[in-house]
Chain A
Amino acid sequence: MGKSLYDKVFDKHAVRKLESGQYQLMMGLHLIHEVTSPQAFAMLRERGLSVAYPGRTFATCDHIIPTTSQLRPFADDLAEQMLVELENNCKDNGIRYLSPEQGEQGIVHVVGPELGLTQPGMTVCCGDSHTSTHGAFGAIAFGIGTSQVRDVLATQSLAMGRLKVRRIEVEGRLSPGVYAKDVILYIIQQLGVQGGVGYAYEFAGSVFEGFSMEERMTVCNMSIEGGARVGYVNPDETTYGYLKGRPYAPSGAAWDRAREYWQSVRSDSDAEYAEVVRYDAADIEPMVTWGITPAQSTSVGGQVPEPERFEEADREVVREAYAYMDFEPGSAIAGKKVDVAFIGSCTNGRFSDFEEVVKHLQKSGKRVAKGVRALVVPGSQKVRARLVEAGYDRVFEEAGFEFREAGCSMCLAMNPDKLAGRELCASSSNRNFKGRQGSPTGRTLLMSPLMVAAAAVCGEVADARSVFGVS
């Protein structure tokens, strides 16, 4: 029997078996940010420990950074204090800080890949659940808590159990106007928000093979929303093509050596999986969430389903969702009036996400509807610079979008970008939890960037394919 990529990479990094039966797993790349690391550094100081491998940790600032201006000091004293703490911790411990001043700042899951830090066959961790994003490169990548950040700083390793692997195959061709975001929302709808607990998801089949790295990142990013801490795609020519020439990617002879390793960690054709599920690409339509978990979604032409359509155990959350969202079961999702439109986040804040929207805005000449607040927030300074260079910032602004500085922005509302009151937001982010976007009563509809743009120009949820004439 062959082995999956997950098992190969795990074995390569397993240091030893611990008394508990778990493994000491070495971490190839550790990413940190300002929210979940200061307490970990404080714990190190308390115990008189130092950072074991400072060259394997990289830092940036994303959650709290304002997107209107990155000028220091920030208006929010708490945010300023957090960033100062991060800067000091990096300086004191010899950790490379990807700073706004040097134009390298951005959402940690956008900057890692774009700098070539994230590579196939690695173990990657970060105090952030969306670390699964990096699995797009064929890495084992997962989110950790702050005590574990301490462990990685002190030892470059974690105590981990082995996950089972579920292979998720999507075969066939996606229809025009159906994107990576729709694929992952569909998968989560099918498998549920806890279907992935205990599993790593291996995304396979023609759809993922045909995807660009940015599309693969969108999919792997939301593995955690399906309960899977790890999601990955086997590395291939698309992966290597993306990596070649990136600042931290190997070059010359080191590139050849690395490439040989990357090829070797691909899942064997006879690999054994705990489970294999298959979906047909033709069944996937543009998706919109209607509730308070990422599994509560429907195709854009569908209705908000009746609670009776769910299993008994799920009905309570469904009823809770209706009460919170103020939606009528059986009503169409299209036509729901939106107040805010947000394009950005570690799920959909990369160049191609914005370029796809720009293309359709230009072609249609459509503008943001009156009364809708529409935000475009690049995932990193480099993404932003590329958009500006292409003149896309002007396209957005002329269409009525605000074009902001890089950061997590309205995905999680730890910065000034927030919903107000019961506002309804069409969002390209990853979580529609209660209060997620900063107002305790604010409401979120997750969808692809082009669907957000369609909602922005129509002032209500609408099928982007008809709004922009996608065919």
Chain B
Amino acid sequence: MQDVKRTRISGRAVALSGNDIDTDRIIPARYLRAVTFDGLGEHAFEDDRKQLAEAGQQHPFDRPERAEAEILVVNRNFGCGSSREHAPQALMRWHRGIKAVVGESFAEIFFGNCVALGIPCVTAEPAAIRRLMAAVDADPELALTLDLEAGRVSFGAAGDGIDATMPEGPRGQLLSGRWDSTTELLEGAKQLAEVEAALPYGFSEAG
């Protein structure tokens, strides 16, 4: 896999309002019965979409005018619950693929999974998210640009935008293109072997 720097990400957006949206909702467990991540995209939010459709409403992921969206805007504690990487894997396989998420806050494992896939999750103040969601909802063709270096999501008229940040560590990984950590971790193999050999515990041979 080739590492790519994630400095600026631009694209249309889809706003999904609601707090505490868990990974079971992002991708229902029945789609985890597989040995690959292929084909997950079309099942993103499947049960929520179906239930809204039955109630005569439309989930943002079902709106044809959102099919080109590449930036997802959410509220608080998005991605809580299960550690399943299938959740961001489904999002990055939905239509053109979600390439960045902007929200009030994220659950920790989901956040880490996104970083491992090169998907920045940036956070902004609730009022800023409200303003961004309103702008996105008003105009399906609105182009957003996440500037990870500047910590800003800009949209609409020149100069308009919101501050959006990310913790330094993962931000650095994305900016430098080293978000796929395997290579870097392999480089520490020798030092790791020393730490391992010095561990004061182990597993009994009897096991």
A247 and B206 contacting across the interface, CB-CB below 8 Å: yes
CB < 8 Å neighbour of B186 from A13, A16, A154: A154
A-B complex: 10 closest residue pairs judged by Cβ atoms: A248-B207, A145-B113, A145-B85, A143-B83, A147-B116, A261-B200, A440-B47, A38-B35, A155-B185, A129-B83
* A64: Cβ under 8 A from any B Cβ: yes
Per-residue CB contact flags for chain A residues 16-31 toward chain B (1 = under 8 Å, else 0) read 1011111010101000
Interface residues of B in 82-120 (CB under 8 A from A): 82-86, 88-89, 105-109, 112-113, 116-117
In angstroms, Cα B22 to Cα A412, docked, is 13
A24–B20 contact, CB under 8 A? Answer: no
With known contacts A158-B185, A414-B30, A19–B178 Cβ distance under 8 A: yes
Query: Residues on A close to B: CB < 8 A?
Result: 12-16, 18-22, 24, 26, 28, 35-36, 38-39, 42, 46-47, 49, 52-53, 55, 63-64, 76, 78-79, 81-82, 85, 115-117, 119, 121-122, 127-129, 131, 142-148, 150-151, 154-159, 161, 193-194, 197-198, 224, 227, 229, 247-251, 254, 257-258, 260-261, 292-293, 313-314, 316-317, 320, 412-414, 431, 433-436, 438, 440-441
B181 within 8 A of A: yes
* CB atoms of B109 and A258 under 8 A apart: no
Tell me which of B33, B82, B167, B191 contacts A64 (CB under 8 A).
B33
Q: In the bound complex, how far is the Cα of B203 from the Cα of A440, in angstroms?
A: 42
Q: How far is the CB of A362 from chain B (nearest CB, A)?
A: 35
Q: How far is the CA of A203 from the CA of B15 in the complex (A)?
A: 38
Asked, given contacts A147-B117, A248-B207, A414-B33, whether A434 binds B25 with beta carbons under 8 Å apart, the answer is yes
B7 contacts the other chain (Cβ, under 8 Å)?
no
B64 within 8 A of A: no
B192 touches A26 (CB 8 A): yes
| Min CB gap A55→B, angstroms | 7
A82 and B36 alpha carbons, distance in the complex (Å):
10
A79 touches B33 (CB 8 A): yes
A47-B173 in contact (CB<8A): no
Which listed residue (B18, B86, B108, B168) contacts A227, Cβ 8 A? B108
Q: Is B74 part of the contact surface with A, judged by Cβ < 8 Å?
A: no
A143 near B107 with CB under 8 A, answer no
The answer to whether A193 and B20 have CB atoms under 8 Å apart is yes
A226, B116: Cα distance in complex, Å? 23
CB-based contact A435/B77 at 8 Å: no
Given A122-B201, A128-B83, 11 additional A-B pairs, CB 8 A:
A20-B168, A24-B185, A36-B83, A53-B196, A82-B33, A129-B81, A146-B89, A161-B170, A198-B108, A414-B32, A435-B24
* Shortest CB distance B29–A (Å): 5
Q: Within 8 Å CB of B80, what residues of A?
A: 193-194, 227, 293
Q: A36-B84, A413-B29, A436-B24 are in contact. Are A159 and B204 (CB under 8 A)?
A: no
> A143: nearest residue on chain B (CB-CB)?
B83
Chain A CB count within 10 A is highest, among B48, B82, B107, for: B82
Q: Is the Cβ of B109 less than 8 Å from the Cβ of A117?
A: no
- Cβ of B159 within 8 Å of any chain A Cβ, yes or no, is no
Q: CA of A227 to CA of B80 in the docked complex: distance in angstroms? A: 7
Residues of B within 8 A of A119 (CB): 201
A194 touching B20, Cβ below 8 Å: yes
Give the number of A-B contacts (CB < 8 Å).
Answer: 237
Bound together, the chains give a CA A414 to CA B30 distance in angstroms of: 6
For the complex, is B138 an interface residue (Cβ under 8 Å from A)? no
Does B172 sit within 8 A of A, measured CB to CB?
A: yes
Q: How large is the interface on B (under 10, 10 to 19, 20 to 34, 35 or more residues)?
A: 35 or more
**Do A258 and B201 form a contact, CB below 8 Å, given A317-B19, A433-B22?**
yes
Instruction: Name the one of B17, B51, B86, B184 contacting A18, with C-beta atoms under 8 angstroms.
Output: B184
Which B residues are in CB contact (< 8 Å) with A227?
77, 80, 107-108
Q: Which residues of A contact B181 (CB under 8 A)?
A: 18, 151, 158-159
Contact with A along B51-81 (1 / 0, CB 8 A): 1000000000000000000000000110011
Residues of A within 8 A of B24 (CB): 412, 431, 433-436
Rounded to whole angstroms, the CA-CA distance of A24 and B181 in the bound complex is 10
Nearest to B84 among chain A residues (CB) is: A36
Quick one: which of B22, B107, B173, B192 has the most chain A CB within 10 A? B192
Contact call B168/A440, Cβ cutoff below 8 A: no
- B151 interface contact, C-beta 8 A: no
Name the distance in Å between B192's Cβ and chain A's nearest Cβ: 5
Q: What is the 8 Å Cβ interface bit string for chain B, positions 1-14, against chain A (1 contact, 0 not)?
A: 10000000000000
Known: A52-B189, A146-B85. A161 touches B18 (CB 8 A): no
Can you list 25 A-B pairs, Cβ within 8 angstroms, ordered by A?
A20-B169, A20-B176, A39-B37, A63-B32, A117-B207, A121-B200, A121-B201, A129-B82, A144-B109, A145-B109, A145-B116, A147-B113, A148-B113, A154-B185, A155-B182, A156-B192, A193-B80, A227-B107, A227-B108, A258-B201, A293-B80, A317-B18, A414-B29, A414-B33, A434-B48
In the assembled complex, the Cα of A423 lies from the Cα of B176 at a distance in Å of 50
Find the B residue at minimum CB distance from A122.
Answer: B201
Residue ID in chain A nearest B111 by CB atoms: A197
Question: CA–CA, A464 to B1, complex, Å?
Answer: 55
Query: Within the complex, which residue of A16, A36, A39, A131 is in contact with B188, where a contact is CB–CB below 8 Å?
Result: A16
Residues of B within 8 A of A12 (CB): 199
Q: B50 on the interface (CB 8 Å rule)? A: yes
